[in-house]
Structure 1
């Protein structure tokens, strides 16, 4: 397996990598930040993005200072920072030190070494005949620029609105959309032919091509597109509700393409852009690894307008994104019964930090999770008025599992774990029920939710062997009169879960074992 990140562990310290937040560290007067890494996909010729974990004891930590070769280059209140304006092809050593309320820094800091990429050749689409008038169809011109792009090169989309049909990216290139530039999808279905083998709602099937496609679907897992970046300060815009309706009429719900679809990709980066008006899911990646998505603004309307969908993929970094949709802001998936059980490719190690979700159905795991989902870490997110808040969802037919989930230091209005989703439930049943286990939700501010309502609803299956198992809810603040439901669970602990008036919420616990309320 390719290493997804560059890291340097301190001698004598057992390190569990970035996705495992409970790593032992040597005690310091000011605790050090942990597990400093650089996602490989985020390295460009002129920038490097750093990610790290908070210290074990971070109550008095107010921020972090970032050093390049021993010189201070930036400060961050978040656990990420992008160092800009670096010369290409140079090697640097970066250090991050934690800063406490008194302004004192940790005496030591994690270090990581990396080299910026060499400067590649630029291929401006104007040189291939493209016109940014919003009316000329530029599919051929843009594809010519992509095909001509040499390894390490950049296809450049300048200021203007460039209408296009489906385009196909390749390995070892960057698609860059400049500020003021818009890559606009046409609303003619003929521009999205020939049909492509894809995966939607858990099934592999033929769909219209996505607006931006990279790779081809291969359930064997072999990567066929690598070292690809889609970035800039501009916009990628689809045909929106109008085009959704056209494609629905032509090929039905599951025949639509995505706005951006990555299949069997490795070392993929999408950053800095406005992503909007997809006729279906906005960013969908399948059978992929080492995917970094950051500093994105995603806006979409209508059913099936998910923001980001990791699907049977490993090692995802999602941070500094703002998402507003009419469906799931993020939906972590791994196929649907029975095909998802047969393909059996889990989604593992998803890190979601410093994101804001303003409109949508949920920050979700499922409901297509037949291949399994594990090791999801969510931190410092603002989860606003989403219908189901943070949701883990499945049906009795899915099979698979959801395990090792951590959410902490977030504001949120609702938490739901359900086993009776009543949609997208065709297909033969899995050989056994799914299960949820080992979930920790801590230091959550739910005080802005509506008073007197059920805000935490945790369910398992009636079969005791498939009860939802080992759930810890700790240090959670609820509004006055909040209600909590627990059903078909084993080993659920509530520790310092209180309403705004310091009273305990109203509990409704049924058909469960070992539920503790401390």
Structure 2
């Protein structure tokens, strides 16, 4: 079992040596790794937004004052949101800076839709389009590549709070359901860190990053209740690391995406190398891949996570119209309550179809505790596409613990293996296989 830890109180411009050890579930430590040396950055200038005229009274609109501090922040510097409640509209961050929200500080999004104008180009529900800006914005969207913002950090012990449902309703009235901004929207960004914050009350998706690389999200507490209130959405982005986070959301806790139908398939920018570890998923629809996965998704690891009664548990989802692929997914050492693979969903199905059917293949689920699952539906329910060339294939379930009288359902799948899959009393589950080739103990 891998656990993440961080040293605090480090001095600027100082060199440190560290050793890394792994810890088993029984608390036994491995031998130390080879010593690793690193040097901290020099201390940058800190710009307190109060010095730019901001007022933390939960009444004054501070957009211009905060944006001025951001614009004047030198390379390596930080903009500080101190204690207090600072109301703001859309803010635009840049590279080589830190936005820090201090303990007791709240950056609060306005509930007036006009504070998120002008509308700008981004991507939502798989399509590139114009929407309202988000509260926190960085970068400019370009699916042909290139990074316009690098080395950005958003951190602290405080809170970033959106305008929530009241703001969403205004945005929908003016620009439709897909016209809403998010709480965070990062585009064509590289090496971004989001750390330590309470993040809550988005008008729809909470943290959305598009065409980006090296986004690290850790030690976050993400809470949403909005319609489409996803917690975190990596979208056609590489090298994403999500760890030590808690989620309680009104939709998917995490939804890994890569565009929709012909547009997403033609742009063809996959999401690759996503690591989700040591997270707690208290409430939401799922730990999800899809349903917009037309550019492809591969190299996903979910490990040492715990999920409560999510609507669909750990899920991989798409439709026959998506195109693209989901492959090389590993889920291990987790406590879940359901595993689902959907080849049809009853939402976000408008628009033309991609020129090919999607492919779902090469999934591994091991050492999973599903004993807390309800048994009114199959605890494991996996489905491929009803086409001989596009069945779900090459799936392994190994060392899975199920509740008594649990059922496992497999539809339109080939080469699915169940090894040491048992109920709490040591019995085999009931297997319900249709148009599938499976093997089990």
For the aligned pair, the TM-score class normalised by the smaller chain equals over 0.9
Following superposition, the deviation at residue 450 of structure 1 comes to 1.6
**Which digits, 9 at most, give the CA deviation of each residue in 1:312-368, with x for residues without a partner?**
000001000000011000000000011101110000000000000111111100000
Q: Secondary structure at the match of 1:440?
A: strand
Matches within 5 A, 1:95-494: 95-98=19-22, 106-451=30-375, 453-494=377-418
Aligned to 1:89: 13
Q: Secondary structure at the match of 1:292?
A: strand
What TM-score does the superposition give when structure 1 sets the normalisation length? Answer: 0.83
Contact 2:316 2:342 in 1 (8 A): yes
Following superposition, the deviation at residue 452 of structure 1 comes to 5.0
Contact 1:452 1:481 in 2 (8 A): no
Following superposition, the deviation at residue 113 of structure 1 comes to 2.5
**Which digits, 9 at most, give the CA deviation of each residue in 1:123-158, with x for residues without a partner?**
000000000000000000000000110000000000
> Cα distance 1:107–1:188, how it changes in 2: closer, same or farther (>3 A)?
closer
**Which digits, 9 at most, give the CA deviation of each residue in 1:178-225, with x for residues without a partner?**
000000000111111111101000000000011110001111111000
Q: Secondary structure at the match of 1:351?
A: strand
> Cα distance 1:498–1:199, how it changes in 2: closer, same or farther (>3 A)?
same
Q: What runs of 5+ residues in structure 2 fail to find an aligned partner? A: none
In 2, distance between residues paired with 1:101 and 1:253? 45
Contact 2:248 2:283 in 1 (8 A): yes
Q: What runs of 5+ residues in structure 1 fail to find an aligned partner? A: 1-53, 55-77
Number of residues of Structure 1 aligned to a counterpart in Structure 2: 441
What TM-score does the superposition give when structure 2 sets the normalisation length? Answer: 0.98
In 2, distance between residues paired with 1:187 and 1:97? 47
Q: Secondary structure at the match of 1:338?
A: helix
Following superposition, the deviation at residue 79 of structure 1 comes to 2.2
In 1, distance between residues paired with 2:376 and 2:270? 38
Q: Secondary structure at the match of 1:257?
A: coil
Q: Secondary structure at the match of 2:51?
A: helix
> Cα distance 1:107–1:300, how it changes in 2: closer, same or farther (>3 A)?
closer
Following superposition, the deviation at residue 425 of structure 1 comes to 1.1
Aligned to 2:440: 517
Contact 1:331 1:363 in 2 (8 A): yes
**Which digits, 9 at most, give the CA deviation of each residue in 1:452-474, with x for residues without a partner?**
53110111011111011100001
Q: Secondary structure at the match of 1:432?
A: coil
Q: Does 1:498 align with 2:422?
A: yes
**Which digits, 9 at most, give the CA deviation of each residue in 1:48-82, with x for residues without a partner?**
xxxxxx5xxxxxxxxxxxxxxxxxxxxxxx52111
Contact 2:201 2:226 in 1 (8 A): no
> Cα distance 1:98–1:287, how it changes in 2: closer, same or farther (>3 A)?
closer
In 2, distance between residues paired with 1:204 and 1:330? 20
Contact 2:337 2:372 in 1 (8 A): yes
